[in-house]
Amino acid sequence: MAICNTCSSNSPLLLSFFTITISFCLTIIPLASALTFNYTSFSPQYDDNITYERAYPDSNRVIQLPANRETAGRATYNQSMRLWDKATGNLTDFTTHFSFVIDSRNSSYYADGLAFFLAPQGSKIPTNKGGGSFGLTKDNEPLNSSIPFVAVEFDVYVNSWDPTFSHVGIDINSVKSKKNVSWWSDVKSGRRNEAWISYNSSTHNLSVAFTGFRNNLVVMQGLDYQVDLRQHLPEFVTFGFSMATGVDFAIFSIYSWEFNSSLEMDDETTNPVSNPKRRRKNRTALVVGLSLGGGVLVGGVVLIIWLAGIGRKRKEGDEEDNQGFSEYIDDEFERGAGPKRFPYKELALATNDFNDDQKLGQGGFGGVYKGFFRETNSYIAVKRVSQGSKQGIKEYASEVKIISRLRHRNLVQLLGWCHEKKELLLVYEFMPNGSLDSHLFKENSLLTWEFRYKIAQDLASGLLYLQEEWEQCVVHRDIKSSNIMLDSNFNAKIGDFGLARLVEHAKGSQTTVLAGTMGYMAPECATTGKASKESDVYSFGIVALEIACGRKPINPKAPQGQVSLLQWVWDLYGNGKLLEAVDPRLCRDFDGQQIERLMIVGLWCAHPDENLRPSIRQVIHVLNFEAPLPALPPKMPVPTYLSPP
């Protein structure tokens, strides 16, 4: 840690240098427009960033629409969001998460609904009586609004243009949804719901994940729709909630609201230059600035290295527990792009000094803690390797070496690291919906089939990147449902690369010590010690069966013949009774063709003979209905192995 020690002893010099350098460099870096906030409660006395129209925070610090008939109300954020940039055409990415209640107080008659919406800057409630327009359109134009808007509606009343059930829908300039899905709303009980809405500027995908209730189970549901928001809304928009009652009514309440958006812009976007001569001068200045800035930066690096050398000599022998390892880890991270070093104090503050109340889980080599950065209003997950664990240190080094260089939408993103005070810490993006196993096996929670199938496809996509699309083949060696993490929209991401290994694409396997988790581990790994793409495909197959069947791979308490999930499902497949293995909690609410494909693909991937397993690319083709199902033997084959030379 010599650099840190040196920086401390020469802090005035370095502070001056970096103040000048960073200030200079910031003048030539592309600008970004970002908006972020997180409300866990609401109070007009202490916060003036929300505008209320006929809906106000009550004594419980909850935004509430009064229980009156034919009433509309709104709560919108005061600062408008820059949705897109006219000069570049760039669109923003945004995510929002909120909790809400629609409560009819046990009445069977209720109306109408609540919507999260985007509308032109300065939008107010139009003149209307509420009802099915949610306070978004005028009374006489619910299906063709003169006021542009995009909204996600939570609709509990059936109007003439609605489906015949409570639903969640995506609306564009009309309250007749472009796409909708039935919603298990349970309005009579007035239970609290959660919703996550996100927009991907690259794919133009507007996605919604939300909870409902069925048979006292929390049901996870979702839908998505592709829309280019630039075609429907101006650059700057007002956003927030609009809710309405009709002849019947319910009490609408918003309990919490979190929002994040980001939009990359060029400097000319915010400071446009109309004069061509001035533009040429700006470009010349930019080239000179970049050259000078680069020179200053290089000089700074040389200065730091020189000071570090002095500090190393002065502090030789100090902090010997960290120095060699730190240099190795730093070198590994410098080869990657993106992750950064976090000071220990910052992570200790974010996790409340690693308080047990913040612990998300405990692994074999340490715990994972939830953290919160107040400066950015964002959550993180911190993996803390147990002190004195040599195997934990090896895992830490492996994750540093591998995941710092990986970038894919279906891999958990590494944000940074810290190794101070004998601590080894890895900082990851926070996955609000936890791990897949926590949803498959919790008695009070239920993932709908749509989510399950999408999760299987996401997992296959992440494995394809690891096995074929990155510069080297990454063998994960511990694919299992507890290592599949779910973000706010239940997109699946592979995590925990502590056991991962790099192999050349041509080689495809590596003989190593036994690693993995029983039930998910391919049989050849136990007998030959060989980890390969095929062994990860085997693990994928087991997870696919878990997703479809809602059962763990090994259940010692199960009836005879059902202890092994793989053996049980294969027996049912051979007897033509495959669907008897489907998770009974789905109550037959699933796509029959999809679930059959997922289970047969699961068996195919978990074939005892590694040479007869599919590639992950073949798996994706079958799951996408781009290739036929394989013909498998009616009885599970018995593997035979050759001893390694």
The tens digit of pLDDT for each residue in 193-237 reads 999 999 999 999 999 999 999 877 888 889 999 999 999 999 999
Token duo for residue 579: 């669907």
What's the one-letter identity of residue 174?
Answer: S
Arithmetic mean of pLDDT, 588-609: 96
The whole-number average pLDDT for the span 151-165 is: 87
DSSP 612: G
More confident residue, 8 or 247: 247
Phi-psi region of 354 (alpha: psi -120 to 50; beta: other; left: phi over 0): left
pLDDT exceeds 60 at position 332: no
Query: Distance between CA 27 and CA 279 in Å, rounded?
Result: 16
pLDDT per position as a tens digit, 46-95:
678 999 988 888 888 999 887 677 788 899 999 999 999 999 999 999 99
Torsion sign across C-alpha atoms 575, 578, 583, 588: negative
Rounded Cα distance, 174 and 141, in Å: 8
Q: What is the CATH number of domain 319-430?
A: 3.30.200.20
Q: What is the predicted pLDDT for the residue at 598?
A: 98
* pTM for the whole structure: 0.71
Under DSSP, the state recorded for 639 is P
Amino acid at 541: G
State the angle between helix axes of 592-605 and 449-464 in degrees (0 to 180), rounded to the nearest 10. Answer: 40
- 530 annotated to bind ligand: no
Q: What's the pLDDT score for residue 641? A: 55
What sign results for the dihedral spanned by CA atoms 74, 76, 78, 83? Answer: negative
The reply to whether 31-265 and 436-623 are identical in fold is no
Cβ burial of 45 (10 Å; 0-12, 13-18, 19+) is exposed
Per-residue pLDDT band for 414 (boundaries 50, 70, 90) equals confident
Q: Domain 31-265 falls in which CATH fold? A: Jelly Rolls (2.60.120)
User: Which CATH fold would you assign to the domain 436-623?
Assistant: Transferase(Phosphotransferase); domain 1 (1.10.510)
Q: Quick one: which H or E segment has residue 252?
A: strand 251-265
* Separation of alpha carbons 512 and 441, rounded Å: 32
Q: Rounded to whole angstroms, how far apart are CA atoms 630 and 614?
A: 10
The CA angle 275-281-282, to the nearest 5 degrees, is 90
Residue written as tokens 């997922």?
Answer: 598
Closest to 232 (Cα-Cα) out of 256, 199, 257:
199
Per annotation, catalytic residue among 162, 478, 487, 536: 478
Q: What is the pLDDT of residue 46?
A: 66
Q: Check pLDDT > 80 for residue 137.
A: yes
Position with higher pLDDT, 377 vs 453: 453
C-alpha 226/C-alpha 536 separation (Å) is 33
Q: φ, ψ for residue 510 (rounded to 5)?
A: -150, 130
The highest-confidence range among 20-24, 86-90, 103-107, 495-499, by mean pLDDT, is: 86-90
163 within 8 A of 182, measured Cβ to Cβ: yes
Distance CA 154, CA 141 (A): 19
Per-residue confidence (pLDDT) for residue 459, from 0 to 100: 97
In angstroms, the CA 617 to CA 601 distance is 12
Task: Please spell the DSSP secondary structure of 517-581, one letter per residue.
Answer: -TTTS-HHHHHH-EEEHHHHHHHHHHHHHHHHH---SB-TTSPTT-SBHHHHHHHHHHTT-GGGG
Residue 361 has pLDDT above 90, yes or no: no
Question: For residue 351, what are the CA distances in angstroms to 156, 358, 493?
Answer: 40, 6, 23
**Any catalytic annotation for residue 478?**
yes
Tokens 């007002």, located at residue: 238
One-character DSSP codes across 367-405: EEEEEEETTTTEEEEEEEEPTT-HHHHHHHHHHHHHHTT
Residue 132's pLDDT band (cuts 50, 70, 90): low
| 525 vs 59: CA distance, rounded Å | 60
Spatial distance between the Cα atoms of 319 and 331, rounded to a whole number of angstroms = 18
Q: What are 206's strand-pairing partners?
A: 199, 225
Sequence spans of domains, the chain: 1-30+280-317, 31-265, 319-430, 436-623
pLDDT at 3 over 60: no
Q: Kindly report, residue by residue over 497-555, the tens digit of the pLDDT.
A: 767 676 655 544 444 545 568 889 889 887 777 888 999 999 999 999 999 999 999 99
Name 369's bridge partners.
359, 382
Rounded to the nearest 10 degrees, the angle between the axes of helix 533-549 and helix 449-464 is 180
Comparing 113 with 302, the larger pLDDT belongs to 113
CA 569 – CA 579 distance, rounded (Å): 9
Burial call 590-613: b when 16+ CB within 10 Å, e when fewer:
beeebbbbbbbbbbbbbbbebeeb
Residue 67 confidence (pLDDT): 67
Stretch (H or E) spanning 457? helix 449-464
Percent of the chain at pLDDT > 90 equals 45
